Structure 1
């Protein structure tokens, strides 16, 4: 498949933030959730001072390995974009991904803003509407599919190691159903325009039914939206779905590696109470909290799930809390800081181009 053809920059720019009523409510809710999680919930699993003492006892080599894994994660974070957009320059993808990460994971309800910023940045770099829409759509869908698949893979791992229970089987069934429905639905949408339109028609019926209950009129047409979505991604997905899947799985595993290295360091080695399968199960279920829009990026909610599961699997409560805090510190703050820098650099470059044109 030919590389993406550079087109004239699209005039669309990211919308200027409007701190209205919804944003104020989202910010208040985020603050409440964060206070509850970090002040009330997490201290139930471990003591912050004891956790900090455990972190301070980590060796320079252990922290160095975690830092190296973090660098790997930051680099790999561009790969889902590169896989879905042939010809994408690394710098363009890096700036766009890091900036959108910062916005989506810092601003309450910032997911929609993050999408708009991605479109605006790629357009400013000269990529046309078609490849820009395709890469954003593909990356969003594949990230959702992989995240939903993680619990299923985790239960399989626990089953192989003989560590499953009745509740794990229930989680497996639910996860398997969700994954099959999403993969099957995507396959049908890509198979033909008629099927995409039919599935969209079913979606319209559900939307109208829901709108009728709350006495609202809805103008959104799911059928046309699905057809447009299919047209925008079908060529790239047909040629590169294996590469796209591998890139998204690799990104998730890179993030997990940071948690596992922290767990191994804090429990004193690989023969500690937490196995690889158990650590992955805690990570996989914690990742599901990222679908909750408040707080952004699963901040706090993901941490509570991971900490509780590590403690439930037998890790010291203080060490479980310490491992989660290390994981959060290395996967969140570096990319947020880099995202602020890439946003400023992009704005500087855009202003420079505007002055020279």
Structure 2
């Protein structure tokens, strides 16, 4: 029976991967030109004008942005150094970006690598929970900032952008409220955990109390992590998204997209929100189509918009795969730390 269940899960996973990758290819090859109202031939003409030195510059921004994100991870896991956080990030992201819904596989890779350095399961789980919440809150904040920028710039505000902002506000408020309830008291952690377990039971048959047990057991550690690391995590997130926005501006400028900063930030915010769509690897295809549609709707040139978004996607999504390969090589040659060394580092941080 167990072998049959494992076989079914494997088949289901393979089908999910094939369908997700197929959808990503379809959205990129046919969807992007449709939403941009252009052709790949016209986009190729624009891309041909991008010089190699710009590719080096864009790569530098990506590495700098990823380094900023190490402050989020080190703030959420005391004892983790910035080089190791960078390796942990690129290795997990490379796996996540290869598979639809690959976050679970990426998280498993994160556990495997962190455990090899001597970190406990509890510390890795705490880091995953806290950074996950910070990511959701940051992505929820982006469209709100975009709304403020568009209103301040007296730019036209599409109904879809207003709806996205309200959805983000509600989502962020709910996540923040549940997070606060879960870390303030044990009773709150149990209540939130029971609610999550009920949601799981709606999707999967059988009884489970994993969320309740996990949140109750981690409550004190999560609360302490937030208390000591919130500033580092927040500044790291600001630096990460800020540098990626500068890269987005450079990509748009390189392809000739001319729009006010407020509208460009709104398009960027839409794209970052859509990265959470798990039907394709990292939201690939969905993110680009949504961003291009917003740029074209605001009057940007179709071919230039699509070319800029393609360049941005290459560096923010596809580049993480070779960077992840480098990270795996670096991890393989990096000496493992003992539990005593990790404990000393955590005590001194």
Does 2:15 match 1:22?
no
Aligned counterpart, 1:322: 307
Distance in 1 between residues matched to 2:285 and 2:247, nearest whole Å: 17
TM-score by length of 1: 0.83
1:229 Cα deviation from its structure 2 partner: 3.5
Structure 1 stretch 296-305 or stretch 242-251: which is displaced more? Answer: 242-251
What residue in structure 1 maps to residue 244 of structure 2?
255
Contact conserved, 2:150 with 2:263, CA < 8 A, in 1?
Answer: yes
**Structure 2 equivalent of residue 5 of structure 1:** none
Q: How many residues align?
A: 327
Cα contact 1:282–1:306 (8 A) shared by 2:
yes
Q: CA deviation at 1:106?
A: 0.9
User: Residues 282-301 of structure 1 correspond to what in structure 2 (within 5 A)?
Assistant: 282-301=267-286
How far apart are residue 97 of structure 1 and its match? 1.0
CA distance in 1, matches of 2:199, 2:313: 38
Q: Output aligned runs, 1:83-98, within 5 Å.
A: 83-98=75-90
CA offset at residue 197 of structure 1? 1.4
Verify the 8 A CA contact 2:122 2:218 in the aligned structure 1.
Answer: no
Q: Call closer, same or farther: CA 1:233–1:71 in 2, change over 3 Å.
A: same
Q: Measured at CA, do residues 79 and 240 of structure 1 come closer, stay the same or move farther in structure 2, by a change above 3 Å?
A: closer
What pairs with 1:29-108 in structure 2 (closer than 5 Å)? 29-44=19-34, 45=36, 46-59=38-51, 62-63=54-55, 65-108=57-100
Alpha-carbon deviation of 1:99?
0.6
User: In 2, distance between residues paired with 1:341 and 1:187?
Assistant: 38
* Aligned with 1:181 (options 158, 174, 178): 174
Give RMSD over aligned pairs.
2.5
- Per-residue CA shift, 1:1-49, capped at 9, x if unaligned? xxxxxxxxxxxxxxxxx99212211122123202321222112212222
Summarize the Cα distance change of 1:329–1:203 in structure 2 as closer, same or farther, 3 Å threshold: closer
Q: Which runs of 5+ in 1 are unaligned?
A: 1-17
- For residue 326 of structure 1, report the CA deviation from its aligned partner: 0.8
Q: Which moved more, 1:239-248 or 1:113-122?
A: 239-248
Give the direction of change, closer, same or farther, for the CA distance of 1:60–1:34 in structure 2 (3 Å limit). Answer: closer
Structure 1 range deviating more: 65-74 or 108-117 = 65-74
Q: Deviations over 1:305-335 (max 9, x none)?
A: 1111111111100000000111011222332
Given that 1:51 and 1:322 are in contact with CA atoms closer than 8 Å, whether structure 2 keeps it comes out as yes
